[in-house]
Amino acid sequence: MLGSARSHRTTVLCLVLLALVTVLFFHRVLLHPGATLNTGDLGNAHSEYKYVQWRSFADWGRFPLWDPTIFCGKSIVGDSLPAVLNVPQWLFWITPSPVFFGYILWFYATLGAWGMFLFAKKKGCDPQGAMIAAVVFALGGKVAGHLYAGHLEVLATTFCLPWIMLAAEGALEKPSLLRACLLGAALALAATCGSVQIMYWHFLFVGAYALLWLLSGLFQRRGMRATFWSALAFAAGMLSFLVFAAPWWLPIFTQTLMLSGRAQGTGYSLAASFSPQYADLLHLLWPFHEITPPAWPAEGKGIQVFWEKTLYMGVIPLTLLVPACLLPGKHRASVVILAVLTTLTFLLALGSSGPLLGLAVRCIPGFGFFRCPGRLFFYTAFLAALLVGLFVSDGGSTLKKRMVLAVSGLMLAAVIVGAFLLWRTEGEWTARAGLPIALLVLFVPLALLWMRGTLPDRLWKASVLLLVCADLFVIWNGHIVVQKTEIAVQGTPVGEFLAGQKRDEEFRFLAPEALLNQTRAARYGLEMVAGYHPGIYGRYLDLYKAIWKSDDSTTTLLKEHSPQDVAHPVLLDLMNVVFTVVAPADPGVEGATAVEIAARDGGPLLAKAYRRDSALPRVCIVPGADLPAPGTTLLDALCSIDPKAGCLVEDRPFKGGDAFRPLPFERQSPSDLTVRFKSEKGGVVLISQAWHPDWKATDNGQLVEVRRVNYDFVGVCVTPGDHEIRVWYLPMDFYLGCYIAVLGWTMLAVLGAWTLRGKRRTAKLA
């Protein structure tokens, strides 16, 4: 009992120390509560999602289901990135202040470090070795790079990996219904963080780990029956994810299959994009090779290179990784499994530079849907950190000590020689080489003293931990860039002008990102038709590309264009694009009247806003719906129609007769509107909103069909008479998923309480 109590106290103390370490790493965030992280995607994308969710509650009092501000509207619950089910991010429902981003990232980094510590201990690490593994995984250079990029969803989902592995290990070691459900619950909680890509890889990674674990059990004569029950519990846990995460995966699955630009046409070229090159592996030794954050924006290079292609786990852990793999010691079975997975993840992360990506795309369903294979380095770092923790924990035989000294000496020589060669090629000597040299200069004599027995094991482990923390802190510290919150959320004259126009009518606009990006647009409740999003609807992407004379927009990004690039303005009319905003020196829109937008207090001219009078209103009625001419695609035909004379459909044309006219409407929320009007001859009510299979409509209380018209917009066919049409977004897959998840989580709570009661009863009898 005394040993158990001491062990618990040690664990709690280590967790507290790890929390203090993460506080130190995030000190700029925690000591500046009035500042926010100044990163790429946090300001350009994630803030937009939070503004939309906040407005849904603040302006409409509704749970956020639909985002009207980007493209022509987009499902929130059918998209992982808004992380609408993630509990820590519900803070943004109270206020959309970007200050919370830093605190949420600190929370998840601490959670990741704690999870890694507990998993490393479970795998056989002592407290010091587990702390080293936790620091290397949660605070490594790869994590720091993505923090600088603002990849909130990637990091939060990645930090959940140790907890998933803990649950998987529990289900494999001691199979039971409760442990299987805990695995599914851990996966479900990780899924809410927002990254489908990382979740997909989590499933593959945990599955590969379980397979190797089961095979090793057979070789160790664990027994077929025990192996079967372990496999069954693990499989049940993976499948129970479908219950616990039903409101997350059901709408995403539907949207990806039916709407996403990635549902078709993706493959090796997308999967291999931003692959690391062999030269990028120099970042293993020199974290600042070629680029020194946060100076890269001024240098104008490396924007898509540094965080996607680096793997800096620290030069000391890299040194220890070699003997950790070559001298497995008493954890031979675990080391073999971890070494195999480390090799596989590393080769996959190389992307087009490695031998496995093409095979994975061909053989693993869904692998070609995701880009940036360098993110698989997260798994390499996770495994390497665990191997290092096991090695440090395993004690020090003479052979191991000699191996560490030899490798560290060779590493120091290689770093010095390599740094000299890099200096000769780059023409300057910088801190890119100084950091690993300084660390190894300190580490080599420590290794020598340890080998001679002068330095006790406990002091040796403490020294390694301190050196690792110091190493990674230097890297991390350069990636924490903060700015005052008022700068991050300050208004813009362009946004204020368009927000003023929005009080009188609904419309969409085109504007260069430099004048008004999607985040600032969402702050004003404005709607734009361009921007960034990894899950762009396939048909919307086709529409957008058809507008311009030439366009190479991808499944992730919509390009910016000048008004002179427009080839088919009718598509802009259908999208309800009323304003085109340009910089003062840029050519305007021919035949349109410009409104000058000046800086506040009569400052210099900032932009010109051109009103497009040909744009269709948000809601209107047209005479009918026709099929495209034979031999003509719907999209090609759409580019040449008179949008006020009728609309196009793929099947079942409809003949009415009402002349074109705008229709008044009332909104109950961004995804719920009502139109009241009288039709003389019948027609098609057009709503300039992206079509989605979950749009529902009633006409005078009777359910009617929502038609996909004009390639990707909403239409309702009406007959002569008085009408009250309500059109609203009703994601039944999301609501069904919520019911399923509530039942699942309730059953898990009951099962947990029953198991705990049984354990207490057994303890009393004992």
pLDDT tens digits for range 106-130 = 999 999 999 999 999 999 999 999 9
Q: Where are the alpha helices (DSSP H) in 61-160?
A: 91-94, 99-122, 127-138, 141-149, 152-159
Residues forming a β-bridge with 411: none
Q: Is the pLDDT of residue 566 over 60?
A: yes
Per-residue pLDDT band at 533 (split at 50, 70, 90): confident
Residue with tokens 């497995």: 328
- According to the model, what pLDDT value does residue 299 have? 41
Q: How far apart are CA 147 and CA 102, in angstroms?
A: 10
471-525 residue pLDDT tens: 999 888 888 888 888 777 778 889 999 999 999 899 999 998 888 888 889 999 9
Q: Is the pLDDT of residue 744 over 60?
A: yes
**Are residue 545 and residue 405 in the same domain, yes or no?**
no
Percent of the chain at pLDDT > 70 equals: 95
The range of the structural domain enclosing residue 658 comes to 619-729
3-state secondary structure 557-589: ECCCCCHHHECCHHHHHHCCEEEEEECCCCCCC
Q: Vertex 468, ends 462 and 472: CA angle to 5°?
A: 150
Residue 352, classified by CB atoms within 10 Å of its CB into exposed (0-12), middle (13-18) or buried (19+), is: middle
- According to the model, what pLDDT value does residue 459 have? 92
- According to the model, what pLDDT value does residue 343 have? 94
**Are residue 394 and residue 506 in the same domain, yes or no?**
no
Q: Is the pLDDT of residue 98 over 70?
A: yes
Whether 229 maps to a domain, the answer reads yes
Question: 571-585 in b/e burial notation, b at 16+ Cβ within 10 A?
Answer: bbbbbbbbbbbbeee
Q: How far apart are CA 648 and CA 656, in angstroms?
A: 13
Instruction: Of 711, 741, 729, give the one whose Cα is nearest residue 648.
Output: 711
**Are residue 504 and residue 538 in the same domain, yes or no?**
yes
**Are residue 546 and residue 470 in the same domain, yes or no?**
no
Residue positions counted in the chain? 766
Residue with tokens 């940036």: 372
**Are residue 297 and residue 331 in the same domain, yes or no?**
yes
Per-residue pLDDT band at 426 (split at 50, 70, 90): low
Q: Where are the alpha helices (DSSP H) in 245-374?
A: 246-258, 268-271, 296-299, 306-309, 315-326, 332-349, 357-363
Per-residue pLDDT band at 103 (split at 50, 70, 90): very high
Q: Is the pLDDT of residue 17 over 60?
A: yes
297 or 562, which is more confident? 562
**Are residue 425 and residue 554 in the same domain, yes or no?**
no
698-724 residue pLDDT tens: 999 999 999 999 999 999 999 999 999
Whether 68 maps to a domain, the answer reads no
Residues 76, 65 contacting (CB under 8 angstroms): yes
Residue 420, classified by CB atoms within 10 Å of its CB into exposed (0-12), middle (13-18) or buried (19+), is: exposed
Whether 40 maps to a domain, the answer reads no
Mean pLDDT of 81-97: 93
Q: Vertex 492, ends 491 and 496: CA angle to 5°?
A: 90
Q: How far apart are CA 759 and CA 56, in angstroms?
A: 46
Q: How far apart are CA 474 and CA 480, in angstroms?
A: 11
Tokens matching residue 589: 């829109």
Phi, psi of 559 (to 5 degrees): -75, 155
Whether 65 maps to a domain, the answer reads no
The 8-class DSSP code of residue 44 comes to: I
Q: Is the pLDDT of residue 144 over 80?
A: yes
User: Mean pLDDT: which of 210-214, 591-595, 727-731 is highest?
Assistant: 727-731
The 8-class DSSP code of residue 548 comes to: B
**Among the listed ranges 48-62, 205-219, 425-439, 456-470, which one has the minimum average pLDDT value?**
425-439
Q: Is the pLDDT of residue 54 over 50?
A: yes
Phi, psi of 36 (to 5 degrees): -130, 160
Residues forming a β-bridge with 547: none
684-696 residue pLDDT tens: 999 999 999 999 9
Whether 67 maps to a domain, the answer reads no
Mean pLDDT of 326-341: 86
- According to the model, what pLDDT value does residue 328 have? 83
590: left (phi over 0), alpha (psi -120 to 50) or beta: beta
Instruction: Of 372, 238, 358, 402, give the one whose Cα is nearest residue 308.
Output: 372
Average pLDDT, the chain: 89
Residue with tokens 């999602």: 49
Whether 86 maps to a domain, the answer reads no
**Max Cα-Cα span within the chain:** 98
Q: Is the pLDDT of residue 62 over 90?
A: yes
- Residue where a domain terminates, one of 579, 605, 631: 605
C-alpha distances in Å from residue 253, one per residue of 64, 77, 450, 711: 19, 11, 55, 22
CB-side neighbour CA atoms (13 Å) of 382: 26
Q: How far apart are CA 246 and CA 71, in angstroms?
A: 27
**Are residue 404 and residue 315 in the same domain, yes or no?**
yes
Mean pLDDT of 664-672: 94
**Are residue 534 and residue 573 in the same domain, yes or no?**
yes
Per-residue pLDDT band at 421 (split at 50, 70, 90): confident
**Are residue 231 and residue 122 in the same domain, yes or no?**
yes
Would you list the DSSP string of 105-123? HHHHHHHHHHHHHHHHHHT
- According to the model, what pLDDT value does residue 311 have? 87
Q: How many domains does the chain have?
A: 3
Q: How far apart are CA 529 and CA 166, in angstroms?
A: 44
Whether 704 maps to a domain, the answer reads yes
**Are residue 472 and residue 553 in the same domain, yes or no?**
no
- Residue where a domain terminates, one of 462, 482, 502: 482
3-state secondary structure 159-179: HCHHHHHHHHHHHHHCCCHHH
C-alpha distances in Å from residue 71, one per residue of 373, 522, 532: 27, 12, 9
pTM of the model: 0.93
- Residue where a domain terminates, one of 605, 627, 654: 605
CB within 8 Å of 343: residues ≥ 6 apart: none
Q: What radius of gyration, in Å, describes the C-alpha atoms of the chain?
A: 29
Percent of the chain at pLDDT > 90 equals: 62
Tokens matching residue 224: 């077929």
Residues 683, 657 contacting (CB under 8 angstroms): yes
Whether 160 maps to a domain, the answer reads yes
Residues 622, 608 contacting (CB under 8 angstroms): no
255-302 residue pLDDT tens: 887 887 777 767 888 889 889 988 888 888 888 776 665 554 444 444
**Are residue 379 and residue 265 in the same domain, yes or no?**
yes
- According to the model, what pLDDT value does residue 135 have? 97
**Are residue 709 and residue 625 in the same domain, yes or no?**
yes
CA dihedral sign, ordered 524, 529, 534, 538: positive
63 or 224, which is more confident? 63
